[in-house]
Amino acid sequence: MTELKTDPRIVRTRKLIMDAFIELSSQKEFKDITVKDITTKAMINRATFYYHFQDIYDLLEKALSEVLLINLNYEKYENAALDEETIADIFLAVTKFQQSLSTRCHRGYEDTIARIIREQLEVIFYKMLLREHGLKDDSALKLAAGMLSWGIYGASVKWRQNSELGPEEFIKKAVPYLLHGVSKSFNGVHSCTSVGGKDGRI
Amino acid sequence: MTELKTDPRIVRTRKLIMDAFIELSSQKEFKDITVKDITTKAMINRATFYYHFQDIYDLLEKALSEVLLINLNYEKYENAALDEETIADIFLAVTKFQQSLSTRCHRGYEDTIARIIREQLEVIFYKMLLREHGLKDDSALKLAAGMLSWGIYGASVKWRQNSELGPEEFIKKAVPYLLHGVSKSFNGVHSCTSVGGKDGRI
DNA sequence: ACGGATCTGTCGGATATGCAACACATTCGA
DNA sequence: TCGAATGTGTTGCATATCCGACAGATCCGT
């Protein structure tokens, strides 16, 4: 829907840059990676880099977003119900993504990464909520999506601090709280028509 | 020497095309590979393909040449003496290259491949001869290089027909004939100053 | 034998990329 | 403290690449 096709050169060049950056990230820390390093490995001109990205931090954000989105396997959730199982799946994808990052060294950029994860989650949750509730109260949906994303990310932080349980068991214990908490406030304040109780859907 | 630098886009695009072609060659026969297949996998426009290559046969030649050159490890021979050991090395590289091709299906293009191999060998032999003899009789050097390349390729054909011996033993039996045959005619006709006998050098 | 489908090779006009140079900031050793 | 060296963003002009369309070739089912 409303897809305006982008120039193939742009797709190709972005991919070259992203791949080069991810490869470099596995070799040295982010703070030691220069734009020249990336463009050399990507076989493009340095000026072209700035045609696509604001700066190297912009690249970091977009690269991480992309990798996370792939990890999140977005098409899978596109039409899934926002139930316990889906949330558990997403939580697993997030923890898996964070573990894949921990090997590379991004010390000092935890906040950026956290924000990216939350933003991505928020977009996904918003789309799912929108599909289930329509847009009669958009700001409420956005609020719910935001809170869910913070909740999931917070859960992943909690889990890393206290990893006695496996991620599966951990999220299964946490998810009822998340779902009913969000569900209650959402239904209570805005009297949404959908029934929050039946199968755990919001 | 006299290197005019080529546009990086050209290098990059050629590499994309070559890599795509080599990848496709491992998946289906040459006759089933279309230009569209290649350009799609290489993420370039079809018109761009024709900017770089005459047609798909031109690509075949250049791709094979490149792969063979890499197999031949050209820098290694750049300054090596044209003695028995070097010739054996080159022979091994050729047989190894042909075996790497046999898995992919290039039926019907044996002649093309054979010609490419001979041409590449001829270039290498010519450079080595030129370095050892100077250019006082250029046409004679070219003749000798050509005969050597035919000889090596012929030896590889013979070896494939009769592979009771390993390639190492096989070429060691054949190389004295090659060396002295070429050496004699070359020295005899043109009275070259270098001594053909001493250590087997031409 | 016929038409549809696919592939080939080519063209002119639009666009992304390359290049060289620039000013500015940061780092680092003398 | 001072340069020298390196990295960052930006700019104008040159060029490789993209697009869409075209005519002809080849293949294939009916």
Tell me the pLDDT tens digit for each residue of A127-141. Answer: 888 888 888 888 888
Tell me: pLDDT of A2 over 90.
no
Instruction: Please choose, from the candidates B195, B194, B123, B193, the residue with its C-alpha nearest in 3D space to the C-alpha of residue B152.
Output: B123
Number of H helices, E strands in chain A: 9, 0
Tell me: pLDDT of A108 over 70.
no
CA distance B170 to A25: 49
- CATH 1.10.10.60 in chain B is located at 7-53
Buried b (16+ CB within 10 A) or exposed e, A12-38: bbbebbbebbeebbeeeebeebebebb
B45: closest chain A residue by CA: A8
B42: closest chain A residue by CA: A12
Tell me: pLDDT of A50 over 80.
yes
**Around B134, how many Cα atoms within 13 Å sit in the side-chain half-sphere?**
4
Q: Kindly report the CATH class assigned to B56-190.
A: mainly alpha
Q: How far is the CA of A47 from the C1' of C20 (A)?
A: 11
What CATH architecture applies to the domain A7-53?
Orthogonal Bundle (1.10)
Q: What average pLDDT does chain B have?
A: 78
B40: closest chain A residue by CA: A8
User: How many other CB atoms are there within 10 angstroms of residue A64's CB atom?
Assistant: 23
B12 touches chain A (CB under 8 A): yes
- Mention every residue, 6+ apart, whose C-beta is less than 8 A from residue B32: none
Q: What share of chain B is helix, strand, coil (3-state, %, to 5)?
A: 75, 0, 25
Closest Cβ–Cβ partner in B12, B44, B45 for A43: B12
Closest Cβ–Cβ partner in B8, B15, B44 for A45: B8
Q: Is A11's CB within 8 Å of B45's CB?
A: no
Contact B178, B152 (CB under 8 A): yes
Tell me the pLDDT tens digit for each residue of A164-185. Answer: 788 888 888 888 777 765 444 4
Q: Which nucleotide is nearest to B14 (CA to C1')?
A: D16
Tell me the pLDDT tens digit for each residue of B27-48. Answer: 887 888 999 999 999 999 999 9
pLDDT value for A71 = 73
pLDDT value for A11 = 94
Closest Cβ–Cβ partner in B12, B15, B45 for A8: B45
Average pLDDT on A91-98 reads 85
Residues of chain A with pLDDT > 70, as a percent, come to: 80
pLDDT value for A201 = 33
